[in-house]
Structures are given as C-alpha cells and as structure tokens.
Amino acid sequence: MKPTLVVSALLAGALAARSLGWPLIHDAPLFHYVAWLMRQGLVPYRDIFDMNFPGVYLLHWAVLATAGGGDLAWRLFDLGWLAATAALLFAFCRPLGGGVGAAAAALLFVLYHLAGGAWHVGQRDFLLCLFLAAGACGIARAWDRGGSRMALLCGGAALGAGLTVKPYAVGLFWLGSAAAGAAAARRAGRAALPGAVAVLGAGLAVPALVFGWLAWRGGLGAFWEILVGYVIPFYSRLGREPLWTALGGHAHGRTLLALLGILALWGLLVPAAPSFGIRRWLAALGVVTGALHFVLQGKGWEYHLYPLAFFLCALAAPAGGPVAAGGPRTRELAGAAAAILFAATTLILGVKGVEAMDAGWIDAKARRVAAITRDLGPLVSAGGTAQVLDVTEGGIHALLRLGLRQPTRFLYDFHFFQDETAPRIQALRAELVTGLERGRPAAVVVLRDSWLERGYDRLDRFPELRDLLARDYALAVTGDDYRIYAKRSGS
C-alpha cells in the first residue's frame, strides 16, 4: 500500500502545481460578483436575485476582502480549503485505518477534487466537505472522550455553518449527529437529551447569526420570497434528468463511483475494532446523506457528488489499513487486493485529472470574457450600468472585471424562459423590463447560450424585452457567442 500512497502523493502534487494557472471560471465569478456588489452596499436577495444561501456569498466576500479577486488568490484559497479538509479527513480516519489508511482516504479525496478540473474550484458542495469533516470529527471526539460537551458543541457549530452554504447533506447529517451525540452522552452515563441538544443548539447558532445579519440588512423577507415563491415551486423542477444518465455524462463517472463504492463497502465489512468508535457509522451516515444530497437536487451535476465522494473516501480508510483477521496468507492477499483497488482508483483519477487539466473550454471561455470586457468597457461611461442576459458564459465575469453594476437585481436570464405563463414568472419578467426602462443601462449584453436555452431566438419568447431592445438599443457588437446592444442617443 505504501508505494501506492507515494505515487498518489506525487500525482496530487503534480496536479496541484499544474492547476495554479487555472483562471477564475464558471460559477465562481458569479459569486465573486455578488460579493463585490455586497461591498458596494447591495443586499443579497433584496437587491440581487439568486437562489443560493447567504453563507456562499459571505465566503466569497471574505476572499475578496482579504486576498482580492485575482485568479491566483482564488486558486490558493481553494487549495488551502482542500488541505484543511484533507487534514480533518485524516484525523477522522486515523482510528479506522491507522496512518496508512487515513492517508489513503485523504489522498483519494485530494485527487478527486483536483481531477474535477477548473470548474470545481471553490464549488459550494466542495466547500461543504470541510464543515462535514469538522462536524464528524467533533462528534467522534465526543464519543471517544465520554460525551465531551465541548466536542459536541464544536461539531454542531461546524455543521450549522455548513447549513448556511447548502442545507441538503449537512441538514440530514446534522440531525443524525444529534442522535449520535445523545448516544455518546448515554454511553458516558449521562442523560442523552443534553447531548442531542448540544449538537442541535450549536448547529442553530451559526444560521441564526447569518440570517440575523441578513434580517438586519433588510434581505430576509426577500430571501423567503425567493425561496418559497421561486426556488421551491419552479427552480427545484428545472433541469432535472435521470441520475444514472447524468453519471454517464461525467468523465469516468460511473467507473470512479463504482471503485469508491467497492472500497467503502470493504471498509464497512472489515471486522470492527475498538478504535473505530462511532466513526464508521458516522461515515456510513455520511454516505447515505451524501447520496440523498445528489438525488434531492436532481440535476445530476458532477459537483453535487462531493459529500457522497467525501464519505466514501472516509469509509474506505479501513480497507487501506492493516488486515487484522485471518492467517498470514489471508492478510497478505487482502492487503494486495486493497492496494490494487486503491491503485486502480488513483489511476482513474489521474487520467481524469490529466484530461481536465488543459480543457479547451477553459481557454475559450477566458477569451470570451476578455473580449466582452474589451468591447463593453468603452460603451459604458463612469457611473453607468450594463445589463447582462447570461448565466455562466462570461457576461457577469466581464462586469466583475469592469466594476459595473446592473440596473436590475437579476444576475441570470433563465428564470424568464421557464413556465412562461405562470404569474410568478410573468412578474419577474415585468420587474426586469421595468428596471431596464427606469435604469436606462448604457448597454445590454446578450449571450447566445443560456442554461437550458440555446440561441438568441429565446428573446422572441419574451416580446416585451425584444421590443424594448429594438426600440431603445442598437446592435453595436457581434462577438464570439455574444451580442452587445448600445443605448440609442436620445432614447
């Protein structure tokens, strides 16, 4: 196993070094832009229409405030977050598989993240894994230390912080951890209820602070309105596809998940040792909640698998550790089989990482962002605004580079092209058109492709917007998959 670990570590180091040149790309510029708007005094949800939880914006705000908005700053943040997550995973897994098994689990997760490519950098579901790891470590330590109240509080608080980023996996794992906290207290001869209350109470503290801040800023009502008025009835149904089909669309997705699953099953079936404590069952709970995290979101995106992959890596630790059962020959064969499985998984991750390292779409999107920035800048005078109709094709990123605000609160345009006759969608359309008429942006940037919509002709299904552009704007630039409309003089 040790030679496999050495190769895995060298591969991880090589992928990490090669990834230092990755630009800020895909989803990350959107949340950087939200964080930048917050620094300009805007309030999430009230002034910025988005579906994500406020913890995402606060993390990006912290990066902008401390390290700046450059490509390298974001890359180093991601690598630092990965290192911290891997260290917590190692600490959690050491009683399961010893130093070798814990190192194998941590390296598998590091490789899993690096192999995902530039669009996985700082993804919300990846960020969740650090909170899940800290929460699991806290609960496990409480079990080991006779129901330590401080460990339960720390574990619950970490999971509560994760709730402000994405609630699916963290919420389910938090509730299961509360039961584990009760069991830890009971095992130590104490009342069970205070153990559960410590996890639940600490878990509510961080969301209370975050949403209290949001209420103080005046955005809580708008958050609730977006959640119950748009996210649950509309967004939750958008873009869903059969999940097995979706896995087939991920690079080596089914093979990789199968290998991790076999390693995790191996780790689950290894005879329990006293050192395991509650860790193996916490990891098994994490696998279940991670799977539900992927299923409940229903969109099949690769980064939604992060919590599942994280806990599969954790549960694989016993497979990488020393084999205690059976005779010498059995232990030798079991160790060799485990090493082969780890080596095969490392190989698949290495191939996936090399394929993703210099993906052509990264350079293509970076060139588009640079072109929009170049073409849009001269059209907008100081203090002017520009509206972008886009999702992740580069328009918002160009606004971030130029330091331009929009006249409306809409970051994306896919809202307007689903359930088009529904009163809520019609109200969002009316809000956009009214905002453009009142805000009178100097330019409107339309990207050819939006999420689930391809082509400029989608505007024909939004006649109020189409007619406003025809009346008040002239086509000024036709670029690589984008058009820029400049406001007519006198309009």
State residue 322's pLDDT score. 63
Put the strands of the sheet holding 443-447 in their side by side order.
Answer: 386-389, 443-447, 482-487, 473-479
Q: Is the pLDDT of residue 275 over 80?
A: no
Indicate if 32 and 77 belong to the same structural domain. Answer: yes
Same domain, 340 and 447: no
Based on the fold, state whether residues 82 and 207 are members of the same structural domain: yes
Residue 206 CB neighbours (<10 A)? 20
Tell me: do 367 and 353 sit in the same domain: no
3-state secondary structure of 412: coil
**Does 461 or 277 have the greater pLDDT score?**
461
Lowest mean pLDDT, pick from 202-206, 269-273, 319-323? 319-323
User: Residue 57 above 60 pLDDT?
Assistant: yes
Type of residue at 39: R
In a shared domain, residues 78 and 226: yes
Q: Do 115 and 211 share a domain, yes or no?
A: yes
How much is the CA Rg of the chain, to the nearest whole Å?
A: 24
Confidence at 359, pLDDT banded by 50, 70, 90: confident
Predicted local confidence at residue 327, as pLDDT:
55
Range scoring the smallest mean pLDDT among 114-118, 272-276, 294-298, 377-381: 272-276
Helix (H) or strand (E) holding 378: none
pLDDT digits (tens, 9 = 90+) for 132-167: 999 999 999 999 887 788 999 999 999 999 999 999
Is it the case that residue 184 has pLDDT exceeding 60? yes
Question: Residue 321 pLDDT > 70, yes or no?
Answer: no
pLDDT tens, position by position, 363-419: 999 999 999 999 999 999 989 999 999 999 999 999 999 999 999 999 999 999 999
| Overall domain count for the chain | 2
> Mean per-residue pLDDT for 279-295?
95
Q: Tell me the two tokens of residue 233.
A: 């009835």
**Same domain membership, residue 297 and residue 165:** yes
Last residue of a domain, one of 313, 342, 357: 357
| Cβ atoms of residues 20 and 116 within 8 Å | no
Length of the chain: 491
Q: Within this chain, do residues 152 and 195 fall inside the same structural domain, yes or no?
A: yes
Residues 117 and 224 in one domain: yes
Residues 273 and 368 in one domain: no
User: Is the confidence at residue 462, as pLDDT, over 90?
Assistant: yes
**Which of the four pLDDT bands, split at 50, 70 and 90, describes residue 129?**
very high
Here the contacts of 180-186 (C-beta below 8 Å, separation 24 or greater) are: 180/139, 180/143, 180/278, 180/281, 180/282, 180/285, 181/139, 181/142, 181/147, 181/152, 181/155, 181/156, 183/143, 183/278, 184/139, 184/142, 184/143, 184/146, 184/147, 184/152, 184/278, 185/147, 185/152, 186/147
CA angle 134, 146, 143 (to 5 degrees): 40
110 and 19 part of one domain: yes
Domain carrying residue 431: 361-487
Out of 357, 384, 400, pick the residue that ends a domain.
Answer: 357
Specify the pLDDT at position 1: 66
- What's residue 338's pLDDT? 82
Distances from the Cα of 319 to the Cα of 147, 255, 270, 314, 322, angstroms: 28, 19, 7, 10, 8
Residue in this structure with the two tokens 């690589």, named with its chain if needed? 480
* pLDDT above 90: residue 331: no
Of 357, 376, 394, the last residue of a domain is 357
The whole-chain average pLDDT of the chain stands at 93
143 and 235, same domain (yes or no): yes
